[in-house]
Amino acid sequence: MTERPDLAPYVELFQQASNSNGNREPESSKDLESRLRKLSSTVRMLKEDLDHTLFELDDLAKALGACEECWGRDKQCPKCQGDGKSGSRKIDKGRFNRLVLPALRKASWIELKEKPNM
C-alpha cells in the first residue's frame, strides 16, 4: 500500500468490513450507524475521485482529438458512432501543449519537427 497512500482509507474500510462481524453477534445500532457513516464518507470520496479522474480523462481526449465518451471504441456511441479515436476530431491546442507536449519533448525516440512554445 506504500505505492498508493491515497487509497489507504479505502483499504482500511474494506478490511474492516471483511473482518467485522465474523463472530455473527448482532451489532448495536450505534455500531451500524458508525459503519454507515464511514461507508457514506468513503462513497463520497470515491465519487469525488472518480469525477476528478473523468474530468482529467475528458481533458486528455480533447488534447488528443478523441471522443470524450468512448475514445472511438463504441459503435453505439451517440457522439461519434465509434469513429472518435485519437486525431479524429479537432485537437485542443492549449490542452495538447499542457498535457501531451511535455511528454513528447522528453521522449528521446521522437523527433519533433518544430517545438512550439507552451
Domain span at 68? 7-15+28-90
Give me the number of domains the chain comprises: 1
- pLDDT tens for each residue of 26-37: 677 787 788 888
Whether residue 59 is contained in a domain is answered as yes
- pLDDT tens for each residue of 42-94: 889 999 999 999 999 999 999 999 999 999 999 999 999 999 999 999 999 99
How large is the average pLDDT for residues 16-31?
66
Q: What is the pLDDT of residue 90?
A: 96
**Gap between the Cα atoms of 6 and 76, Å rounded:** 35
Q: What is the pLDDT of residue 118?
A: 47
Whether residue 116 is contained in a domain is answered as no
107, amino acid identity: A
Residue 5 has pLDDT above 70, yes or no: yes
Q: Cell 445500532: give the residue.
A: 29
- pTM score of the predicted model: 0.66
